[in-house]
Amino acid sequence: MINSKIFITLIFFLFIYSNVFAQTSKKIVVEDIDKPKLQKLIKDRKGKILFLNIWASWCAPCKKEFPDLVKLAEKYKKSKVEIVGLSVDDREDLNSAVIPFLQQNNVNFKIYLQNFKNIEELIEFFPQWQGAIPLTVIFDAKGNQKKFIVGMRDFTFFDNAIQEVLKPSK
């Protein structure tokens, strides 16, 4: 026979555990994005600048900078900045690699999976890009490209770049 105090304690811990688990396993939605959708994302800014980070779950520098992107998204969540990630992972890796990576990193911003005809079409979308990732492109509130950053950076670098784009032009 189980002691009632032990039973109540056990129920209490199960309740706490289930709440913690429910909070940490939120449903992550990754939408496809093709050339027309990316063009629309860039042009339809609704007064916000766009911070677009192109990455992959298999890319070591991308994985290393990702926590700083989460930190940026937290800082700018109620601002005139939209943080967006665009994964170049293969579709078949979405459930086995991409979503687990996003869950592990507590992603707090919109993520897309590239759905261009081929990767070359995505690379050609940005004429100065050679295809290296991570790539971060920052657009102003009118959809004009303002920053083109190839390679891994940190929170401070990105924050400064965002602040430069947010400054009113003279």
User: Could you state, in order of their start, the residue ranges of all structural domains in the chain?
Assistant: 27-166
Percent of the chain with pLDDT over 90: 82
- For 162, the enclosing helix (H) or strand (E) is helix 155-166
- Each as own residue / partner, the long-range contacts of residues 88-94 (CB below 8 Å, 24 or more positions apart, any chain) are 88/54, 88/55, 88/56, 88/114, 88/119, 88/122, 88/133, 89/56, 89/57, 89/58, 89/113, 91/115, 93/57, 93/58, 94/30
Residue 138 vs residues 81, 93, 105, 119: alpha-carbon distances, Å:
10, 27, 22, 20
Instruction: Kindly indicate the confidence band of residue 8, based on its pLDDT and cuts at 50, 70 and 90.
Output: low
Select the more confidently predicted residue: 132 or 10: 132
Edge to edge, the sheet with strand 49-55 lists 30-33, 110-114, 81-87, 49-55, 135-139, 145-150
Residue 17 has pLDDT above 60, yes or no: no
- For 119, the enclosing helix (H) or strand (E) is helix 119-125
- What would be the CATH architecture of the domain defined by 27-166? 3-Layer(aba) Sandwich (3.40)
Residue 20 pLDDT: 46
pTM of the model: 0.83
Query: Tell me, what amino acid is at 77?
Result: K
In this prediction, residues 145-161 reach a mean pLDDT of: 98
Select the more confidently predicted residue: 116 or 5: 116
Select the more confidently predicted residue: 5 or 56: 56
Residue 2 pLDDT: 57
